[in-house]
């Protein structure tokens, strides 16, 4: 645990307590900060605070950074393996499975299945993880896909691979290609979208906001339907919900996206698929590319849209 102490100023007058702390400790999500407040470890003038408390601008605010007690247990969850060697594991993730454990999703995540696979292979990552008492929740996962997004995901199997792959994602060297079906017809056949992304106020959503992190997405139309578009998407940055938010920004949310779009009874989930991933292999240093075929539900949706035009 790490302690913190802040002094509210006049310019902080009327800010919510959780908003104030989010600005002071930007590396943590608002929901995590609210968790600390709920645990009673955040004090305002020596009294327990509330997330919705409005500041007057002269308070002394102190507290501790508290991590939720999450563990990662190895579970025999089937993995659809595209490629594997001694350094990396490439998976075709199914829609409907959470990548990392989190509050409300502690078990049956992709990370649990990866842990089991690495355990069976006696990976150094798993042996180290087990010796530390299940403290490491990512265990080789160097990037993530949303629960309802399917497609290519790479996993590191060694400490060196984890370090080098993480650096590739951080430095934006990895080439990512997604396929998506949007609501509405895009007005141009190719283009790019920019918009800084941050967490929406008092919400589990992300939002395009000036104070967020820079994000850019390029796209190309593959086929236009009367009321939908089938597109290829090339995210140039890797922000949370980036593709979904940027397509919403131009008025074409992803079909089936119930968080940022409109629920559609004709589709089972958001039509977003991580189609291709190109990385520099951490050992051979050669650039290699992996693809995940379009899943059955995605192909069925495309077929449904084609039949509607006949």
Q: Please list the active-site residues.
A: 146
Alpha helices (H) along the chain: 17-24, 30-38, 110-120, 124-131, 159-170, 242-249, 296-308
Q: Give the closest residue to 53 by CA, choosing from 25, 26, 34, 29.
A: 34
Q: Quick check: 167 and 126 in contact, CB under 8 A?
A: no
Distance CA 240, CA 215 (A): 10
CA distances 64 to 58, 67, 102, 135, Å, are: 20, 10, 20, 19
For 287, the enclosing helix (H) or strand (E) is strand 287-291
Q: Quick check: 220 and 192 in contact, CB under 8 A?
A: no
Distance CA 304, CA 193 (A): 28
Side by side, the strands of the sheet bearing 43-44 are 3-7, 60-64, 43-44, 47-48
In three-state secondary structure terms, 11 is helix
Distance CA 292, CA 278 (A): 12
Question: Cα torsion at 254, 255, 260, 264 (round to 10°)?
Answer: 180
Distance CA 147, CA 274 (A): 12
For 141, counting Cβ atoms within 10 Å of its Cβ (0-12 exposed, 13-18 middle, 19+ buried), the class is: buried
């Amino acid at each position: 645990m790490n302690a913190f102490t802040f002094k509210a100023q006049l310019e902080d007058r009327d800010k919510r307590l959780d908003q104030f702390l989010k600005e002071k400790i930007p590396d943590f999500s608002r929901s995590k900060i609210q968790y600390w407040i709920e645990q009673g470890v955040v004090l305002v003038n020596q009294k327990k605070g509330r997330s919705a408390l409005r500041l007057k601008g002269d308070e002394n605010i102190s507290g501790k950074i508290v991590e939720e007690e999450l563990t990662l247990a190895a579970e025999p969850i089937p993995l659809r393996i595209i490629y594997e060697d001694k350094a990396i594991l490439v998976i075709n993730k199914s829609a409907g499975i959470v990548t990392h454990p989190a509050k409300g999703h502690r078990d049956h995540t992709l990370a649990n299945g990866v842990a089991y696979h690495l355990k069976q292979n006696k990976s150094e990552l798993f042996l180290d993880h087990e010796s530390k008492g299940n403290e490491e929740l990512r265990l080789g996962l160097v990037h993530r896909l949303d629960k309802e997004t399917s497609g290519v995901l790479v996993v590191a199997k060694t400490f060196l691979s984890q370090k080098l792959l993480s650096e590739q994602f951080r430095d934006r060297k990895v080439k990512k290609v997604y396929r998506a079906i949007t609501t509405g017809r895009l007005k141009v056949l190719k283009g790019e979208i920019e918009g800084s992304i941050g967490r929406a106020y008092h919400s589990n959503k992300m939002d395009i906001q000036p104070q967020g992190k820079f994000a850019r997405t390029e796209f190309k139309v593959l086929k236009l339907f009367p009321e939908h578009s089938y597109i290829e998407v090339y995210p140039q940055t890797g922000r949370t919900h980036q593709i979904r938010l940027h397509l919403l920004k131009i008025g074409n949310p992803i079909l089936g996206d119930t968080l940022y779009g409109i629920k559609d009874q004709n589709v089972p989930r958001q039509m977003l698929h991580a189609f291709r991933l190109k990385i520099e292999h951490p050992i051979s240093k050669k650039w290699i590319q992996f693809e995940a075929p379009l899943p059955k539900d995605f192909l069925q949706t495309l077929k449904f849209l084609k039949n509607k035009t006949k």
